[in-house]
């Protein structure tokens, strides 16, 4: 009888694991840039934070993070970071304002290239994208591995845009372009922000600035309603997030 009870318990445990979506995903973050990147991670409201929420990747380094099912949030890279004599940590691009390497619940200050995820585990498709809606600071691609269903394609922006960013959007440090603002961040105009009278897909259309981003990065979000060619789905995948996926750039 005891053996039968144990078998029943094990079978029940197996099915609970199977149907509860207990499988977690793995994010592998790789820095192929020729400079140091400090990734930041922010969970959506009401979602427990991942650990860590910020860390450092030297050139060529990588780090893997286990991500639970039904997680949503965003990941980005901070660049040109320093720590002063008092221990305060700041970055010229992508800073989260926490004054430490850990972002601890704070998001990226624009402009920053963002990888965005809504994971649904065993219950359905994951949604993911790379967004330039808040501007751009470095190349980044998201590639699913081992998934099925959906289209499971790579998404993101492999291009280096800081050099040829439109002058009115360019963020400069010591005469060097270090980031590229979105038109919304640069001008605050509702027609670029898709707000106010421009808050619907019918009224907010691509601008010359969003078209600049889209031409260079066809699988990244270029403005708020750029859903058709920018949102991707996959089921049961792990994800590789790569900074500077092609030719490393100097910084």
Which residue from 56, 45, 60 is spatially nearest to 106, judged by alpha carbons?
A: 45
The residue with tokens 């994208």 is: 129
* Strand partners of residue 180: 136, 170
Lowest mean pLDDT among 22-26, 58-62, 69-73, 227-231: 22-26
Q: Which residue has the higher pLDDT, 126 or 246?
A: 126
Residue 122 in domain = yes
Spatial contact of 128 and 234, defined as CB atoms under 8 Å apart = yes
Spatial contact of 100 and 54, defined as CB atoms under 8 Å apart = yes
175 band by pLDDT with thresholds 50, 70 and 90? confident
Q: Which residues contact 146 (CB under 8 A, 6 or more apart)?
A: 236, 237, 238
Residue 5 in domain = no
What is the token pair recorded at 29? 């973050």
Give percent of the chain with pLDDT exceeding 90: 81
- Average pLDDT across the chain, whole number: 90
Residue 10 in domain = no
Q: Which CATH number is 88's domain given?
A: 2.60.110.10
Q: Which range marks the domain in which residue 233 is found?
A: 24-159+219-243
- Answering whether pTM is above 0.75, one says yes
Instruction: Say which DSSP state 85 is in.
Output: T
Residue 38 in domain = yes
Residue 55 in domain = yes
SS3 of 34, please?
coil
Residue 70 in domain = yes
Q: Which residue has the higher pLDDT, 121 or 90?
A: 90
- The pLDDT of 166-184, averaged and rounded, is 96
Taking 80 as the threshold, does the pLDDT of residue 11 lie above it?
no
Residue 143 in domain = yes
For position 24, what pLDDT does the model report?
82
- The pLDDT of 162-190, averaged and rounded, is 96
Residue 194 in domain = no
- The pLDDT of 194-222, averaged and rounded, is 97
2 band by pLDDT with thresholds 50, 70 and 90? very low
Taking 80 as the threshold, does the pLDDT of residue 72 lie above it?
yes
148 band by pLDDT with thresholds 50, 70 and 90? confident
Give the number of domains in the chain: 1
DSSP calls for 137-156: SS-EEEEEES-BSS----EE
């Amino acid at each position: 009888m005891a053996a039968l009870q144990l078998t029943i318990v094990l079978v029940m445990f197996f099915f609970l694991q199977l149907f509860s979506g207990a499988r977690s995903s793995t994010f592998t973050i790789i820095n192929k840039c020729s400079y140091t990147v400090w990734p930041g991670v922010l969970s959506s409201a009401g979602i427990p934070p991942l650990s860590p929420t910020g860390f450092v990747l030297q050139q060529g380094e990588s780090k893997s993070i286990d991500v639970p099912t039904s997680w949503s949030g965003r990941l980005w890279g901070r660049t040109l970071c320093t720590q002063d004599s008092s221990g305060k940590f700041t970055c010229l691009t992508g800073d989260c304002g926490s004054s430490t390497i850990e972002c601890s619940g704070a998001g990226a200050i624009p402009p920053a290239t963002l990888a965005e995820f809504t994971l649904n585990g065993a219950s359905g498709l994951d949604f993911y994208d790379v967004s330039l809606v808040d501007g751009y600071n470095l190349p980044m691609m998201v590639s699913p591995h081992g998934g099925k269903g959906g289209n499971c394609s790579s998404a993101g922006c492999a291009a280096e845009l800081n050099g040829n960013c439109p002058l009115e959007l360019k963020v400069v440090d010591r005469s060097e372009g270090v980031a590229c603002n979105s038109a919304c961040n640069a001008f605050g105009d509702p027609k670029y922000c898709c707000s106010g009278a421009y808050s619907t897909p019918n009224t907010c259309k691509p601008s010359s600035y969003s078209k600049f981003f889209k031409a260079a990065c066809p699988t990244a979000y270029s403005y708020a309603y750029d859903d058709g060619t920018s949102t991707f789905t996959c089921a049961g995948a792990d994800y590789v997030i790569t900074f500077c996926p092609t030719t490393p750039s100097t910084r």
